[in-house]
Amino acid sequence: MNAADPLGLPVTVPSTALFTDRYELTMVQAALRAGTAHRRAAFEVFTRRLPEGRRYGVLAGTGRVLDAVTNFRFGSEELDFLRERGVVDEPTLDWLAGYRFSGSVHGYPEGEVYFPGSPVLRVEGTFAECVVLETVILSILNHDSAVAAAASRMAVAAAGRRLTEMGARRTHELSAVAAARAAYIGGFDATSDLAAGFRYGIPTSGTSAHAFTLLHDTERDAFTAQVSSMGRGTTLLVDTYDVAEAVRTAVEVAGPELGAVRIDSGDLLLLAHRVRHQLDELGAHDTRIVVTSDLDEYAIASLAAAPVDAYGVGTQLVTGSGHPTCSMVYKLVARADSDDPAAPLRPVAKKSMGGKLSIGGVKWAARELDGDGTAAAEVIGTGEIPAELAGQELTVELVRAGEVLAREPLEVPRERHRRARAGLPLSAAQLSRGEPVLPTRYA
């Protein structure tokens, strides 16, 4: 609980240390007792497959991961909880009390695209200090990358038209803030969630709901009140009663300088054409049309030929448009045979049936380009990177000796994603089901 908040509302989180699964701490206890906790180790985050039908993944949440690692601290309240519940023994509690991540983190830069097997994050340090970060890292990357992938597909479908994220009421209050951040990276232009605007500087957008119209004795009264308060450039909601009558009233109240009208129900394709024709007849040629109402990438694509200027998307965006997770995993891929800091890392991997096979060893990743400079393959390997792929590496240094190196304004990963998506083959923009647009090749 935030000590500054007497109500205990989950607005801020002072520590991320308990955003973990119990077995991570019990493994530390057993490893401390066995004398293996301080062996150097390397864990990698990757996904074995993309969600069904997706052509590429979008890495989002890296910046939040860096914050989570920085705030992974066990204070007196957390330690008392673990002691009272008998989660771990006293020697382990003593170790947790002094926990500070001192290792290194490498990974794909936030906003980059990824494919099956891509080592999007690598965490190196002692086994104990790395293993406790598994759950918090995966919970962030799986959620944020799912939302960013959905946002990216919607941005492709929107073809440059403005997109506003408005899904806060359809998810957990803290998830809503993270979803708005991920959507902005994926290509959205604004959010309705003020907490996201406050926390991350994302532009915010919103005017009124049907309740505002219903509050007033007439629709004209509602429109007059809104225009008087917000100016002629505001957006008026025109589908509370009769759309055609509302559009006529809106232009009479605001004049041809009316900023926009919003349609939130009905046959959006038909209504958009009718409203555009009516606005033009009334002289409101520059008044924009905004559509909402349970949109996803397919609905947005179906409106490509409609005179729509902007979209507002809620439920489908914050739930990953049918794929609320990316199924990323956090696997030990290399470890030392002793506590000696100079001991070499040797590859380790789980042997498993059922598609859960992992590949051992610390990996590099590069994107192979064709003769036109378009991405042709995701190449992953261990050891030295081939000379022909030099300069095309994807992994960057994020944390060194526990110090974060790569914090950046949100505009940077947003622009990075735009460039990465533009560098993919044209088929990446297809919304129809298909295989990943790039093959993964192991060198």
pLDDT at 433: 83
This prediction's pTM: 0.94
The answer to whether 61 and 145 are in contact (CB under 8 A) is: yes
Provide, rounded to the nearest whole percent, the portion of the chain with pLDDT above 70: 96
Q: Using one digit for the tens of pLDDT, what is the confidence trace for 137-179? A: 999 999 999 999 999 999 999 999 999 999 999 999 999 999 9
Average pLDDT over residues 369-389: 95
CA distance 64 to 181: 10
pLDDT at 155: 98
What 384-391 contacts at long range (C-beta under 8 Å, 24+ apart), as own/partner pairs, is 386/443
CA distance 158 to 427: 16
pLDDT at 4: 44
- Specify the higher pLDDT residue, 15 or 363: 363
Average pLDDT, the chain: 95
pLDDT at 6: 45
pLDDT at 309: 98
pLDDT at 351: 82
Give CATH 3.20.140.10 domain extents, the chain.
22-132+327-427
pLDDT over threshold 50, residue 331? yes
Confidence class for position 390, pLDDT limits 50, 70, 90:
confident
The answer to whether 171 and 319 are in contact (CB under 8 A) is: yes
Q: Using one digit for the tens of pLDDT, what is the confidence trace for 242-256? A: 999 999 999 999 999
- Specify the higher pLDDT residue, 12 or 74: 74
> What fold, for 148-318?
TIM Barrel (3.20.20)
Domain 22-132+327-427 class in CATH: alpha beta
pLDDT over threshold 50, residue 376? yes
Backbone dihedral angles phi then psi of residue 169, each to the nearest 5 degrees? -80, 0
Average pLDDT over residues 375-404: 95
Question: DSSP characters for 122-167?
Answer: EEEEEHHHHHTTHHHHHHHHHHHHHHHHHHHHHHHHHTT-EEEE--
Identify the CA nearest to 54 among candidates 438, 431, 439. 431
Average pLDDT over residues 274-295: 97
Backbone dihedral angles phi then psi of residue 102, each to the nearest 5 degrees? -120, 10
Confidence class for position 10, pLDDT limits 50, 70, 90:
very low
Q: Using one digit for the tens of pLDDT, what is the confidence trace for 392-401? A: 999 999 999 9
Q: Of 10-19, 121-130, 153-162, where does mean pLDDT reach its minimum?
A: 10-19
pLDDT over threshold 80, residue 280? yes
Give CATH 3.20.20.70 domain extents, the chain.
148-318
pLDDT over threshold 50, residue 227? yes
pLDDT at 354: 66
Helices (H), 231-309: 243-254, 268-281, 297-302
pLDDT at 11: 41
pLDDT at 133: 98
pLDDT at 8: 45
